[in-house]
Chain A
Amino acid sequence: MIEIKDLHKSYKVGKNALHVLKGINFNIEEGELVAIMGSSGSGKSTLLNIIGMLDVADKGSYTLDGVPIKDLDETKAAKYRNKFLGFIFQSFNLINYKTALENVALPLYYQKVPRKERNEKAMKYLKDVGIDDWATHLPSELSGGQKQRVAIARAMAAESKVLLADEPTGALDSTTSYEVMQLIQEINDSGKTILVVTHENDIANMCKRIVLLKDGVIIEDKKINQVWASDHV
């Protein structure tokens, strides 16, 4: 599903170049649930941003579902993002004046799905994440866990190939974190490929594979026995 070869990325900080990614190589198969771990400054967020087409690599190749991702202008990137990727952010990033339902329906608006069909689909995904009762509420009326569920429903609504989660439980307490991870595991079980960036071990252990980054290179890449979040709830 994702093939990355010899990926380099550096940022200019004043006159010096900060070499953040120093040759990353890895592949992700369809249906995997991968945790990308590392301390802060290890380059894990940069890697996720490049995979998410929010940022561009300096060197190396990146192929997503057989499509080489290169020479991206903003318009092309936006279209690819809409088609291939769903995002889940630490701070949820819901649009605060739109209801839960409207937030979930928004990616479909950019896919030019008609309004009625859009709302039906959005409702279905809200049901899947278990908060269809809150469909008409604004984000400010929802708890953190509920907001993240809305965000997950939104990521799924686009029917993308890959879900990218950047510290999805970073702003949540542990009970709520496990509930969200349980949901992510369920979505993964239904066949979706999911990448989770985290620095928490217990969250990483709920994935099927852990990629450990340090100073811009992968120092460890192992498959693990998945811990079921439902055991903790």
Chain B
Amino acid sequence: MFNRDSWQEIFDTISKNKLRTFLSGFTVALGIFIFVILFGFGNGLKNSFKEFFVDDATNIFRLFPGRTNMPHNGFKSGRYIEFDNDDLAAIQKNFAFQIQYITPRITRNYTVKYKNKSNNYGLRAVAPGHQEAEKTILMKGRFINHQDVKNKTKYVVIGRLVEDDLFEGEDALGKYVNIGKRSFKVVGVFQDDGGDNEERFVYTAYTTNQLIEKNTDKVGQIIVAFKPIIGYAGAMEFEEELMAFMKKRHDINPKDESAIYLRNVADDLEQNQQFGSLLQIVVTFVGIGTLIAGIIGISNIMVYVVKERTKELGIRKAIGATPRSVIAMILQESIFITTAAGYIGLFGGIFLLSSLDNTLDDYFIKNPYIDMGTAIFATILLIIFGGIAGYVPARRAARIKPIVALRDE
């Protein structure tokens, strides 16, 4: 069945029936091509979604102070916990191996004023690491740096919308704004993919804010970023160790769950990913639909092909072709064509996807791709169904008596 001679016969038939070969090949190639493109676009949509809704770094823990609900070490229950500069230094020192950066975040509300315009904005007093944690993008100027923290400078970095609101087209860089009763110099303007609210903040050094607030050393919440290299398991371990360390420092019962909250961004991700998986379902549905259309297409072509060849098959049978050899011939031919065409469509689609890359960003399709496994699976599926689609009419044709096939119309 698979000897050289029968292959020669197949190639002969294929090359001498170019239209037929082209039609069946084109259907399969197009089916796979569209599948790859649609699936890739779906993945691109997912990428855009991830970028919109998952704008923060994913390797961070947020520590919030709370209130104890268990007595411990002579302290009674109901005590308020506060973090201070010593906590920052202690965490930094103890977990130097795991930590990428650490930053406090003190959040206040202030009226910010420039000339005769003013508005209420959130003030975040932070360390330089905060830029990475929030993925803040600087449009101009710079972010709060270590010098600012050290020198308690009266510098601020304002959001894009703050500049829009207060400066009305004027360049804010280098200008002075009034926050509360004090004057601050604008050293940077930022944007943020997290949405409009994120762009209505004002950043300053946390030490500056502490100085304003009667030289306190309290820091509000603490954001700790771990090195991504420690992996998921390492992060979980670090989370536990960090909690134990902080509880010990603040004389909290190890079983007390309400004194310190630790929010792991990896857990937040899960919620967003539910919407992401909805998109995935849509993408899969579209993909399956395309494949079914392709299968129907190739089935129709195969029915047509076998019908067109009825007479030829009758002749072949009259001069000695067995039903088996007739079926084998049609199957071999259809599988060969679908395989070759399938891979043309596959690589055509992948090539187009990779050349598109990020050119469709404006249509929310970012970096479209398809993983090789899915693509090859789809191709093989189409080849199998192409084979089945060829087999059914081929078997019927092989059963037709030659006399019927040869009867003149």
Contact = CB atoms under 8 A, between A and B. Distances in A.
A162 to B, nearest CB: 14
Interface stretch (A18-26, A71-79, A204-212, A217-225): A71-79
A51 to B, nearest CB: 12
Interface in A84-107: 86-87, 89-91, 93-98, 102, 106-107
B321 interface: yes
A81 interface: yes
A171 to B, nearest CB: 10
B403 A55 contact: yes
Interface stretch (B137-145, B299-307, B309-317): B309-317
Interface in B281-326: 311-312, 314-325
Nearest to B8: A115
B399 interface: yes
Contacts of B312: 95-96
Given A55-B401, A158-B319, A98 B408 contact: no
Nearest to B403: A54
A82 interface: yes
A188 interface: no
Contacts of B324: 75
Contact of B320 (A82, A89, A93): A82
Nearest to B13: A97
B318 A81 contact: yes
Contacts of A158: 319-320
Contact of B322 (A52, A55, A74, A154): A74
A111 interface: yes
B319 A54 contact: no
Given A91-B408, A97-B16, A74 B319 contact: no
A60 to B, nearest CB: 18
Contacts of B316: 95, 106, 110
Given A95-B315, A106-B316, A78 B321 contact: yes
Contacts of A89: 406
Contacts, number: 72
Nearest to A164: B318
A111 to B, nearest CB: 7
B402 interface: yes
Interface in A128-161: 154, 158
A79 B319 contact: no
B397 to A, nearest CB: 12
Contact of B5 (A52, A98, A115, A154): A115
A113 to B, nearest CB: 9
B318 A87 contact: yes
Nearest to A50: B403
Given A54-B401, A54-B402, A115-B5, A110 B318 contact: no
Contact of A109 (B9, B314, B322): B9
A110 B323 contact: no
Contacts of B398: 74
Interface in A43-75: 49, 52, 54-55, 74-75
Nearest to B407: A91
B404 to A, nearest CB: 9
Contacts of A94: 315
A93 B318 contact: yes
Interface string B308-351: 00011011111111111100000000000000000000000000
A110 B13 contact: no
A83 B320 CA distance: 8
A74 B320 contact: no
A46 to B, nearest CB: 9
A24 B45 CA distance: 78
B271 interface: no
Nearest to A91: B408
Contacts of A110: 316, 319-322, 325
Chain A CB within 10 Å, residue with most, of B312, B324, B402, B406? B402
Contacts of B17: 97
Contacts of B325: 110
A78 B5 contact: no
A106 B316 CA distance: 8
Contacts of B9: 109
A102 B312 CA distance: 14
Contacts of B13: 97
A221 B186 CA distance: 120
A18 to B, nearest CB: 16
Contacts of A74: 317, 322-323, 398-399
A78 B403 contact: no
B319 A107 contact: yes
A92 to B, nearest CB: 10
Nearest to B406: A93
Contact of A93 (B8, B16, B311, B399): B311
Given A95-B312, A115-B8, 6 more contacts: A54-B401, A74-B399, A79-B322, A96-B312, A98-B12, A106-B316
> Lowest 5 A-B CB distances belong to which pairs?
A82-B320, A110-B320, A54-B403, A97-B16, A78-B322
28 contacts: A52-B318, A54-B401, A74-B317, A74-B323, A75-B322, A78-B323, A79-B322, A81-B319, A82-B320, A83-B320, A89-B406, A90-B408, A94-B315, A95-B312, A95-B316, A97-B13, A97-B16, A102-B12, A106-B316, A107-B319, A109-B5, A110-B321, A110-B322, A111-B320, A115-B5, A154-B319, A158-B319, A158-B320
Interface of B: 5, 8-9, 12-13, 16-17, 311-312, 314-325, 398-399, 401-403, 406, 408
Interface of A: 49, 52, 54-55, 74-75, 78-79, 81-83, 86-87, 89-91, 93-98, 102, 106-107, 109-112, 114-115, 154, 158
